[in-house]
Amino acid sequence: MRTSRARQAGGAGGSNGEAGGAAGGGRQWARADATRQALLTAALGVFADRGYSAAGIAEIVERSGISVGSLYHHYGGKAGLYVALWEDLSAEQEASAAQAVSAARKEGESDPIALFTAGARAYLRVCWERREAARLFLDGEGPAGSSLMRRSRAQHWIAQNTKLLRGPSSGEPAGRAEQVLSLVLTTVIGEAGREIATAENEDEAAEIIDEVCRILIRLAR
Protein backbone atom coordinates (compact mmCIF):
# COMPACT_ATOMS: atom_id res chain seq x y z
CA MET A 1 0.00 0.00 0.00
CA ARG A 2 2.79 2.39 0.87
CA THR A 3 4.61 1.57 -2.36
CA SER A 4 1.51 2.13 -4.43
CA ARG A 5 0.94 5.49 -2.79
CA ALA A 6 4.48 6.54 -3.57
CA ARG A 7 4.05 5.39 -7.15
CA GLN A 8 0.83 7.33 -7.45
CA ALA A 9 2.54 10.42 -6.13
CA GLY A 10 5.53 9.92 -8.46
CA GLY A 11 3.65 8.89 -11.59
CA ALA A 12 4.73 9.82 -15.10
CA GLY A 13 4.28 13.49 -15.94
CA GLY A 14 4.19 15.30 -19.24
CA SER A 15 6.57 18.14 -18.29
CA ASN A 16 9.50 18.88 -16.05
CA GLY A 17 7.21 20.78 -13.71
CA GLU A 18 4.91 17.79 -13.37
CA ALA A 19 7.86 15.46 -12.80
CA GLY A 20 9.19 17.76 -10.11
CA GLY A 21 5.79 17.87 -8.44
CA ALA A 22 5.58 14.08 -8.53
CA ALA A 23 9.03 13.77 -6.99
CA GLY A 24 8.04 16.24 -4.28
CA GLY A 25 4.89 14.26 -3.60
CA GLY A 26 6.97 11.10 -3.32
CA ARG A 27 9.23 12.75 -0.76
CA GLN A 28 6.20 13.88 1.23
CA TRP A 29 4.84 10.32 1.32
CA ALA A 30 8.25 9.02 2.38
CA ARG A 31 8.44 11.55 5.22
CA ALA A 32 4.92 10.72 6.36
CA ASP A 33 5.72 7.02 6.25
CA ALA A 34 8.87 7.54 8.30
CA THR A 35 6.89 9.57 10.81
CA ARG A 36 4.24 6.88 11.17
CA GLN A 37 6.85 4.16 11.53
CA ALA A 38 8.74 6.09 14.20
CA LEU A 39 5.53 6.56 16.17
CA LEU A 40 4.56 2.88 15.88
CA THR A 41 8.02 1.72 16.93
CA ALA A 42 8.00 4.00 19.95
CA ALA A 43 4.43 3.02 20.88
CA LEU A 44 5.28 -0.66 20.71
CA GLY A 45 8.19 -0.16 23.07
CA VAL A 46 6.18 1.89 25.55
CA PHE A 47 3.20 -0.48 25.46
CA ALA A 48 5.55 -3.43 26.00
CA ASP A 49 7.26 -1.73 28.94
CA ARG A 50 4.21 -0.18 30.65
CA GLY A 51 1.17 -2.03 29.39
CA TYR A 52 -1.50 -0.23 27.39
CA SER A 53 -3.30 1.38 30.32
CA ALA A 54 -0.17 2.83 31.93
CA ALA A 55 1.45 3.93 28.67
CA GLY A 56 1.58 7.69 28.22
CA ILE A 57 1.46 9.82 25.10
CA ALA A 58 4.32 11.96 26.43
CA GLU A 59 6.71 9.00 26.61
CA ILE A 60 5.73 7.80 23.14
CA VAL A 61 6.41 11.26 21.76
CA GLU A 62 9.74 11.48 23.58
CA ARG A 63 10.93 8.10 22.33
CA SER A 64 9.83 8.70 18.76
CA GLY A 65 11.20 12.22 18.43
CA ILE A 66 7.95 13.14 16.67
CA SER A 67 5.68 15.96 17.76
CA VAL A 68 2.49 15.27 19.66
CA GLY A 69 0.61 17.08 16.91
CA SER A 70 1.88 14.59 14.34
CA LEU A 71 0.88 11.69 16.60
CA TYR A 72 -2.70 12.93 16.80
CA HIS A 73 -2.71 13.78 13.10
CA HIS A 74 -1.71 10.28 12.02
CA TYR A 75 -3.32 8.12 14.72
CA GLY A 76 -5.72 10.24 16.72
CA GLY A 77 -4.20 9.20 20.05
CA LYS A 78 -3.06 6.18 22.01
CA ALA A 79 -5.93 3.93 20.94
CA GLY A 80 -5.19 4.60 17.29
CA LEU A 81 -1.58 3.55 17.77
CA TYR A 82 -2.67 0.33 19.45
CA VAL A 83 -5.10 -0.52 16.65
CA ALA A 84 -2.50 0.28 13.99
CA LEU A 85 0.01 -2.04 15.65
CA TRP A 86 -2.59 -4.79 15.87
CA GLU A 87 -3.65 -4.38 12.26
CA ASP A 88 -0.03 -4.35 11.11
CA LEU A 89 0.75 -7.62 12.91
CA SER A 90 -2.50 -9.25 11.77
CA ALA A 91 -1.89 -8.24 8.16
CA GLU A 92 1.63 -9.68 8.23
CA GLN A 93 0.41 -12.94 9.77
CA GLU A 94 -2.37 -13.31 7.21
CA ALA A 95 -0.14 -12.36 4.27
CA SER A 96 2.56 -14.81 5.34
CA ALA A 97 0.02 -17.62 5.66
CA ALA A 98 -1.55 -16.82 2.28
CA GLN A 99 1.85 -16.73 0.59
CA ALA A 100 2.79 -20.09 2.09
CA VAL A 101 -0.44 -21.69 0.86
CA SER A 102 0.03 -20.18 -2.59
CA ALA A 103 3.63 -21.41 -2.77
CA ALA A 104 2.59 -24.92 -1.73
CA ARG A 105 -0.08 -24.97 -4.44
CA LYS A 106 2.43 -23.86 -7.07
CA GLU A 107 4.64 -26.77 -6.03
CA GLY A 108 1.77 -29.13 -6.75
CA GLU A 109 0.30 -29.61 -3.28
CA SER A 110 -3.47 -30.11 -3.39
CA ASP A 111 -4.26 -31.81 -0.07
CA PRO A 112 -6.34 -29.29 1.94
CA ILE A 113 -4.83 -30.38 5.24
CA ALA A 114 -1.27 -30.00 3.95
CA LEU A 115 -2.15 -26.55 2.60
CA PHE A 116 -3.77 -25.59 5.90
CA THR A 117 -0.70 -26.74 7.82
CA ALA A 118 1.62 -24.78 5.52
CA GLY A 119 -0.39 -21.64 6.24
CA ALA A 120 -0.43 -22.35 9.97
CA ARG A 121 3.33 -22.83 10.05
CA ALA A 122 3.90 -19.50 8.32
CA TYR A 123 1.47 -17.73 10.66
CA LEU A 124 3.20 -19.18 13.72
CA ARG A 125 6.60 -18.21 12.38
CA VAL A 126 5.48 -14.58 12.32
CA CYS A 127 4.44 -14.94 15.97
CA TRP A 128 8.11 -15.56 16.74
CA GLU A 129 9.60 -13.05 14.30
CA ARG A 130 7.25 -10.33 15.59
CA ARG A 131 7.18 -11.62 19.16
CA GLU A 132 7.36 -8.22 20.84
CA ALA A 133 4.24 -7.12 19.01
CA ALA A 134 2.56 -10.52 19.46
CA ARG A 135 3.16 -10.44 23.22
CA LEU A 136 1.47 -7.06 23.40
CA PHE A 137 -1.89 -8.60 22.52
CA LEU A 138 -1.66 -11.73 24.69
CA ASP A 139 -3.38 -10.43 27.80
CA GLY A 140 -6.29 -8.80 26.00
CA GLU A 141 -5.57 -5.35 27.45
CA GLY A 142 -6.36 -2.54 25.07
CA PRO A 143 -8.67 0.34 24.27
CA ALA A 144 -12.45 0.10 24.33
CA GLY A 145 -13.70 -2.03 21.49
CA SER A 146 -10.47 -3.99 21.03
CA SER A 147 -12.03 -7.24 22.24
CA LEU A 148 -14.78 -6.91 19.64
CA MET A 149 -12.13 -6.21 17.02
CA ARG A 150 -10.33 -9.43 17.96
CA ARG A 151 -13.53 -11.48 17.91
CA SER A 152 -14.42 -10.16 14.47
CA ARG A 153 -11.03 -11.11 13.10
CA ALA A 154 -11.22 -14.54 14.74
CA GLN A 155 -14.56 -15.21 13.05
CA HIS A 156 -13.13 -14.17 9.70
CA TRP A 157 -10.08 -16.35 10.27
CA ILE A 158 -12.24 -19.37 11.15
CA ALA A 159 -14.35 -18.84 8.02
CA GLN A 160 -11.24 -18.68 5.83
CA ASN A 161 -9.79 -21.80 7.43
CA THR A 162 -13.07 -23.64 6.90
CA LYS A 163 -12.92 -22.87 3.17
CA LEU A 164 -9.30 -23.99 2.95
CA LEU A 165 -9.93 -27.26 4.78
CA ARG A 166 -12.93 -28.11 2.63
CA GLY A 167 -10.99 -27.73 -0.60
CA PRO A 168 -11.94 -26.00 -3.87
CA SER A 169 -14.52 -28.58 -4.98
CA SER A 170 -16.93 -28.12 -2.09
CA GLY A 171 -19.98 -26.27 -3.34
CA GLU A 172 -22.30 -26.88 -0.40
CA PRO A 173 -22.25 -24.78 2.78
CA ALA A 174 -20.03 -26.12 5.55
CA GLY A 175 -21.72 -28.49 7.97
CA ARG A 176 -21.61 -28.20 11.74
CA ALA A 177 -18.81 -30.77 12.07
CA GLU A 178 -16.64 -28.89 9.58
CA GLN A 179 -17.27 -25.58 11.32
CA VAL A 180 -16.40 -27.03 14.72
CA LEU A 181 -13.23 -28.63 13.36
CA SER A 182 -12.12 -25.31 11.92
CA LEU A 183 -12.91 -23.59 15.22
CA VAL A 184 -10.84 -26.14 17.16
CA LEU A 185 -7.87 -25.98 14.78
CA THR A 186 -7.92 -22.18 14.65
CA THR A 187 -8.05 -22.03 18.45
CA VAL A 188 -5.06 -24.39 18.68
CA ILE A 189 -3.08 -22.12 16.35
CA GLY A 190 -4.02 -19.02 18.32
CA GLU A 191 -3.01 -20.52 21.65
CA ALA A 192 0.20 -21.89 20.15
CA GLY A 193 1.02 -18.39 18.96
CA ARG A 194 1.01 -17.27 22.59
CA GLU A 195 3.56 -19.94 23.54
CA ILE A 196 5.76 -19.18 20.57
CA ALA A 197 5.77 -15.44 21.26
CA THR A 198 7.05 -16.12 24.78
CA ALA A 199 9.55 -18.86 23.86
CA GLU A 200 13.04 -18.54 25.31
CA ASN A 201 14.83 -18.74 21.97
CA GLU A 202 14.37 -19.53 18.29
CA ASP A 203 15.10 -23.24 18.72
CA GLU A 204 12.34 -23.57 21.30
CA ALA A 205 9.96 -21.64 19.08
CA ALA A 206 10.79 -23.93 16.14
CA GLU A 207 10.15 -27.02 18.28
CA ILE A 208 6.75 -25.69 19.32
CA ILE A 209 5.85 -24.89 15.72
CA ASP A 210 6.82 -28.40 14.56
CA GLU A 211 4.81 -30.05 17.32
CA VAL A 212 1.78 -27.85 16.74
CA CYS A 213 1.79 -28.73 13.03
CA ARG A 214 1.93 -32.43 13.87
CA ILE A 215 -1.02 -32.01 16.22
CA LEU A 216 -2.99 -30.06 13.60
CA ILE A 217 -2.52 -32.84 11.07
CA ARG A 218 -3.68 -35.49 13.55
CA LEU A 219 -6.74 -33.48 14.54
CA ALA A 220 -7.66 -32.59 10.97
CA ARG A 221 -7.48 -36.15 9.68
pTM greater than 0.85: no
Q: For residue range 186-207, what is the model confidence (pLDDT) as tens digits?
A: 999 999 999 999 999 999 999 9
Q: Is the pLDDT of residue 171 over 70?
A: no
User: Closest Cα to residue 80, out of 135, 36, 124, 137?
Assistant: 36
* 31-55 average pLDDT score: 94
User: Closest Cα to residue 216, out of 197, 198, 189?
Assistant: 189
Give the CA distances from residue 221 to residues 30, 98, 100, 111, 137, in Å, rounded to whole numbers and listed in that order: 48, 22, 21, 11, 31
**Is residue 189 a contact partner of residue 120, using CB atoms and an 8 Å limit?**
yes
Q: For residue range 99-122, what is the model confidence (pLDDT) as tens digits?
A: 999 999 999 999 999 999 999 999
C-beta neighbour count of 12 within 10 angstroms: 7
pLDDT at position 13, please? Answer: 42
